[in-house]
């Protein structure tokens, strides 16, 4: 009698499971307009000061948890903050602000233009400082509680509530305190506080000699021109210097970085004693780096610590990291042995030891936590993973702290005893664990909950193929939902393929995101392959594209395409390709070099000729048009347009300051000349990508194009 009941129960369970997975993604889902399908996170998860207590936000309150025992108690809530706000004559907060708990008993936050500090031990709120409404590029120095910022092209700071102006540049072509070199070399800003806040270093960028490039704003009745400085490859570039302002003496000294003027100033680092500042001086060819020490009181070069050279290029992307316990030593990240690794130097530049080595990459320096210990993340276990490690400075012992396979992000306590590990994998959407420094799980802070459990998703697999030289190439393949191996499906190749990007990872959805899964739900097989030239596989893997963009990348991508064509469930007559930016360039190049293979292509913001691209990125990978005319000719899409044989849609933002509108317009002009039909769609007023609800429109445009033509 029990057997039929068990069978009935199993059938009912299977029916309910199938029914629960009938939901399909929408285009709004693909841009995460529906927060319910986003992997769960813990708001404001952080360590409290130097303690082994961590905090998180919940329901407009901050709670603290002791790492050892897991005891959770209320630290403070919105009402407590508002009591202080109202007492100080300020408007109450409508929601809990983002609070940096930088002390054991206090944190600071910004509301409007005002910085506040809240002492949660005595429940006291006080104003720290305030910046003007027009302030940008704001940098807060915690030790001094001073704030530096820019207004238009000049630099200012506040001290004791008083605003002081540091630079007085009248020419808008001279910009102080802002990012330089078009954000290459890891540069994200132009303001550098000294450790204790007594001095302020800043970039001064002279763009007066750089050609104005017109961006047209059509939002007004009569369109207006917004000029931007855009130095194209081989043309005159910006000139950058580094100034140091002494707050006590109200004087600025510019470091004498010498001729030529179009050098790149990278890796800006303050010495611990605040007397010296260090600058990585990179020549315009980007193949010779000098790490220089300057005396900030007089601006002169003290010494060159060391030099790095490579016949192709050197790419410094991080500052120096001085040891807290020994300020006469520092950590330097370099690819000098072929992979990004940690090197320990003394303050004179002498190499003391290489801390990490092997055919894998350090992806991020995480910091010094605990004595004699350096923390970093890297790909030591697997090129698809990003794990957390520590290395002992004396013994050189490396400990893998994150034990679960996947892509990890670490938040380490000041003592180095505990790690908050947030990770995802192909099987885990997001989970947060508290680990000790040996990698043992103390507790699961947030368990994984699959936000797509009710959705019908295509099967994702990750594997490798061999490039023509035997190199492993990782790919991700997503099958359509309700897959039927007897059918013949159309396929889409999604490509990026350029430096600084890795698309296939051991992370949630394999790194594929929701739009590619949406396309799989529409009945497409979707494949992505990381070709030579992409990130985290070592220097030689990336430098394979040097001086000849669009060659080896296409060869590697075609390995993936040939694999697709070999699959019995893929229709080889219905293969499309889609990509953006560098991926847009490769989309068109793949179509032009293989006109008999691709039926449809969508290229967003594509580089069509590298001579129209900017100096810093373009010259690193292609040299100048003057020095490498053959490479530029081979990489040009414009001179190959007569090979186009398929449906191609180009998408462009009209205000794109990265891949300027001229790139696609010149391609269109040549298409007209050669009588080649190209579909074209512009997003008025958008830059290099589409944001917000317009991104859903973009995705719909792409999906419709493939459905109608593929």
| pLDDT tens by residue, 623-667 | 999 999 999 999 999 999 999 999 999 999 999 999 999 999 999
Q: Is the dihedral of CA 6, 12, 16, 22 positive or negative?
A: positive
Across 144-196, the runs of DSSP E, i.e. the strands, are 146-151, 154-159, 162-165, 174-176, 191-193
Q: In this predicted structure, what is the pLDDT of residue 484? A: 97
Residue 388, pLDDT > 50, answer yes
Question: If you count DSSP H runs as helices and E runs as strands, how many of each does the chain have, helices first?
Answer: 11, 42
Structure token digits, residue 497: 């393929």
Q: In this predicted structure, what is the pLDDT of residue 644? A: 98
Measured between its terminal Cα atoms, the distance across the chain in Å is: 54
**Per-residue pLDDT tens digits for 166-197:** 999 999 999 999 999 999 999 999 999 999 99
Q: In this predicted structure, what is the pLDDT of residue 259? A: 85
Q: In this predicted structure, what is the pLDDT of residue 34? A: 82
Q: In this predicted structure, what is the pLDDT of residue 17? A: 44
**Per-residue pLDDT tens digits for 545-581:** 999 999 999 999 999 999 999 999 999 999 999 999 9
**Per-residue pLDDT tens digits for 440-476:** 999 999 999 999 999 999 999 999 999 999 999 999 9
- Give the DSSP H/E element, type plus range, for residue 498: none
Block residue for tokens 């002492």:
119
Q: In this predicted structure, what is the pLDDT of residue 33? A: 74
Count CB-CB contacts under 10 A for residue 297.
14
Q: Which CATH class is domain 460-709?
A: alpha beta
Q: In this predicted structure, what is the pLDDT of residue 20? A: 53
**In the structure, what pLDDT confidence band is assigned to residue 1 with cuts at 50, 70 and 90?**
very low
**Per-residue pLDDT tens digits for 59-118:** 999 999 999 999 999 999 999 999 999 999 999 999 999 999 999 999 999 999 999 999
Q: In this predicted structure, what is the pLDDT of residue 3? A: 41
Count CB-CB contacts under 10 A for residue 214.
13
**Per-residue pLDDT tens digits for 510-545:** 999 999 999 999 999 999 999 999 999 999 999 999
User: Any idea which architecture 133-315 has in CATH?
Assistant: 8 Propeller (2.140)
Do the Cβ atoms of 515 and 506 come closer than 8 Å?
A: no
Do the Cβ atoms of 458 and 517 come closer than 8 Å?
A: yes
Q: Residue ranges of the domains in the chain? A: 41-130, 133-315, 320-451, 460-709
Cite the active site residues. Answer: 581, 656, 688
Residue 7, pLDDT > 50, answer no
**Per-residue pLDDT tens digits for 232-277:** 999 999 999 999 999 999 999 999 998 889 999 999 999 999 999 9
The strand pairing partners of 232, in sequence order, are: 614
Given CATH 2.120.10.30, say whether it is the number of domain 320-451.
Answer: yes
């Amino acid at each position: 009698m029990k057997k039929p009941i068990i069978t009935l129960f199993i059938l009912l369970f299977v029916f309910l499971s199938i029914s629960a997975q009938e939901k399909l993604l929408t285009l709004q889902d693909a841009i995460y307009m529906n927060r319910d399908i986003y992997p769960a996170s813990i708001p404001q998860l952080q360590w409290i000061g130097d303690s082994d207590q961590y905090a998180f936000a919940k329901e407009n309150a901050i709670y603290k948890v002791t790492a050892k025992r897991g005891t959770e108690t209320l630290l403070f809530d919105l009402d407590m903050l508002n009591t202080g706000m109202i007492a100080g004559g300020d408007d109450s907060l409508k929601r809990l602000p983002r609070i940096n708990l930088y002390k054991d008993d206090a944190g600071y936050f910004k509301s409007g233009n005002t910085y506040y500090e809240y002492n949660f031990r005595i429940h006291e709120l006080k104003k720290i400082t305030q910046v003007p409404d027009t302030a940008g590029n704001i940098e807060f120095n915690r030790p001094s509680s001073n704030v530096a910022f820019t207004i238009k092209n000049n630099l200012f700071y506040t001290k004791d509530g008083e605003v002081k102006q540091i630079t007085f540049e009248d020419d808008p072509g001279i910009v102080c305190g802002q990012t330089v070199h078009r954000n290459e070399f890891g540069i994200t800003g132009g303001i550098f506080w000294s450790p204790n806040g007594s001095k302020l270093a800043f970039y001064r960028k002279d763009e007066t000699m750089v050609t104005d490039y017109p961006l047209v704003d059509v939002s007004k009745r009569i369109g207006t021109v917004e000029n931007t400085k855009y130095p194209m490859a081989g043309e005159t570039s910006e000139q950058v210097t580094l100034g140091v302002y002494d707050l006590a003496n109200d004087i600025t000294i510019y470091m004498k970085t010498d001729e030529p003027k179009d050098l790149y100033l990278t890796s800006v680092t303050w010495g611990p004693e605040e007397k010296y500042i260090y600058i990585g001086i990179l020549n315009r060819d980007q193949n010779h780096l000098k790490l220089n020490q300057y005396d900030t009181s007089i601006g002169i070069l003290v010494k060159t610590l060391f030099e790095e050279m490579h016949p192709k290029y050197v790419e410094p992307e991080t500052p120096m990291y001085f040891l807290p316990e020994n300020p006469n030593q520092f950590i330097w990240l370099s690819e000098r042995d072929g992979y990004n690794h940690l090197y320990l130097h003394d303050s004179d530049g002498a190499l003391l030891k290489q801390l990490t080595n092997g055919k894998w990459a350090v992806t991020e320096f995480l910091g010094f936590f605990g004595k004699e210990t350096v923390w970093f993340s890297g790909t030591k276990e697997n090129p698809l993973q990003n794990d957390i490690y520590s290395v002992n400075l004396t013994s050189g012992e490396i400990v893998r702290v994150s034990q679960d396979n996947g892509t990890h992000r670490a938040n380490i306590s000041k003592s180095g005893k505990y790690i908050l590990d947030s990770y995802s994998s192909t099987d885990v959407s997001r989970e947060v664990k508290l680990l000790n420094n040996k990698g043992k799980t103390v507790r699961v802070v947030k368990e994984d909950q699959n936000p797509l459990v009710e959705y019908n998703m295509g099967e994702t697999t990750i594997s490798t193929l061999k490039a023509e030289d035997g190199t492993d190439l990782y790919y991700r393949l997503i099958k359509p939902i309700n897959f039927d191996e007897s059918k013949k499906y159309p396929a889409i190749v999604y490509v990026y393929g350029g430096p600084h990007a890795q698309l296939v990872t051991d992370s949630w959805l394999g790194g594929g995101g929701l739009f590619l899964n949406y396309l799989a739900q529409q009945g497409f097989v979707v494949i992505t392959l990381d070709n030579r030239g992409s990130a985290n596989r070592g220097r030689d893997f990336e430098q394979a594209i040097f001086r000849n963009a669009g060659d080896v990348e296409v060869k590697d991508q075609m390995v993936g395409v040939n694999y697709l064509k070999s699959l019995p469930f893929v229709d080889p007559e219905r293969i499309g390709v889609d990509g953006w930016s560098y991926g847009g360039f490769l989309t068109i190049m793949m179509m032009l070099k293989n006109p008999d293979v691709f039926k449809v292509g969508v290229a967003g913001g594509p580089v069509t000729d590298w001579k129209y691209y900017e100096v810093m990125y373009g010259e690193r990978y292609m040299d100048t048009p003057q020095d490498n005319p053959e490479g530029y000719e081979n990489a040009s899409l414009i001179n190959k347009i007569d090979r186009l044989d398929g449906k191609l849609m180009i998408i462009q933002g009209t205000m794109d300051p990265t891949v300027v509108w001229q790139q696609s317009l010149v391609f269109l002009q040549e298409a007209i000349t050669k009588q080649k039909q190209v579909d074209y769609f512009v997003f008025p007023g958008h830059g290099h990508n589409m944001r917000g609800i317009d991104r859903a429109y973009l995705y719909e445009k792409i999906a419709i194009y493939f459905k109608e033509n593929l």
